[in-house]
Each structure stands twice: as C-alpha cells, then as structure tokens.
C-alpha cells in the first residue's frame, strides 16, 4: 500500500465461506434478461492486529429470475504495527476501514477468484458461463 494510506498490511488470507446456487425457472421464450451482479461487504472484526472482511457477490437476473448464485469469501488482513500509529482508537480504524473497504479488497485477487467460481458453476451442464468483474462492483446511486 502507498505511504498516503493509513492501513499497512503485512499479509492476508482468504477462505471460501459458501457458494449458494438456486435454479428458479427456465426463461419463457426468447426472454431479454439482464444480469445483475452486486457485491456486499461486512467488517466482522477490526483491531490493530487484523481486519476480517466478509464479501458476498450475488448474480441474479432482471426482470425475471432464471437462477441466482452467491459466493461468500472471508478475507483476514494481518496489519503492520505502523497502522496503530495512524489511529488513536480502534473506533477510528474501523471507520476508516469501512470507508476504504473496496480499496482493501481490490488490492487482492479475490474478486477474480470469485468470478472464476461463478463462471465454473454457471457453465456446468452446457450453460453459458457468467463472468463477473475482477474488482469490487461499486454500488450505483
């Protein structure tokens, strides 16, 4: 991470938490379906030693449901002691981490791995694979 940032990471680990695939129904006729992919994050733990982030990527269809898939991973960042120098309290660190969670995640290859899992599952049995972003999908206002 650059010197202008306040969180300094020594290393990180990632584990797959869950994959949830649900077939809903075959689209009728030549339906015009749009793919809607979203990411949601939650900071499960945050202190001066580590930050644990849960990331869920969900893919659904609009206007009707064909199937849905959700992949959840947990990232565990081990923090450098320099991080403590940037914040007076854990509450300040948590606030900063929440505001910069996308930056923390995008500095890892985790979104590419999630995309690979989704494409593998959705391409099973001759279906067209769904390829999602290799970066966090930003919420649109």
Read off the pLDDT of residues 61-118 as tens digits, 9 standing for 90 and up: 876 777 899 999 999 999 999 999 999 999 999 999 999 999 999 999 999 999 999 9
**128 in a structural domain:** no
CB-based burial label for 54 (10 Å; 0-12, 13-18, 19+): middle
Quickly tell me which residue has 């403590």 as its tokens: 84
> Is 125 inside a domain boundary?
no
In this structure, what are the phi and psi dihedrals at residue 88, rounded to the nearest 5 degrees?
A: -80, -35
Q: How many domains does the chain have?
A: 1
CATH of the domain at 20: 3.10.420
Distance CA 13, CA 11 (A): 7
Residue 124 lies in a domain: no
Kindly provide the b/e burial profile for residues 128-137, where b requires at least 16 CB atoms within 10 angstroms of the residue's own CB: eebebeeebb
Residue 1: per-residue pLDDT: 42
Roughly how many angstroms between the first and final C-alpha of the chain, as a whole number?
A: 28
pTM over the 0.75 mark: yes
**Could you tell me if residue 140 is inside a domain?**
no
User: Percent of the chain, pLDDT > 90?
Assistant: 75
Residue 23 placed within a domain: yes
48 within some domain: yes
Residue 134 lies in a domain: no
Residue 19: domain span: 9-118
In a domain, 58, yes or no: yes
């Amino acid at each position: 991470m650059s010197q202008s940032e306040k969180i300094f990471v020594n290393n990180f680990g990632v584990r797959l938490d869950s994959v949830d695939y649900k077939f809903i129904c075959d689209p009728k006729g030549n339906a015009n379906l749009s793919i809607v992919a979203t990411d949601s994050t939650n900071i499960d733990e945050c202190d001066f030693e580590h930050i644990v982030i849960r990331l869920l990527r969900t893919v659904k269809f609009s206007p009707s449901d064909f199937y849905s898939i959700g992949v959840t991973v947990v990232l565990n960042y081990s923090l450098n002691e320099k991080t403590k120098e940037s914040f007076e309290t854990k509450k300040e660190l948590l606030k900063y981490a929440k505001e910069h969670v996308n930056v923390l995640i995008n500095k890892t290859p985790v979104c590419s791995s999630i995309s690979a899992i989704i494409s593998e599952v959705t391409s099973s049995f001759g279906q067209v694979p769904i390829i999602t972003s290799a970066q966090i999908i930003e919420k649109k206002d």
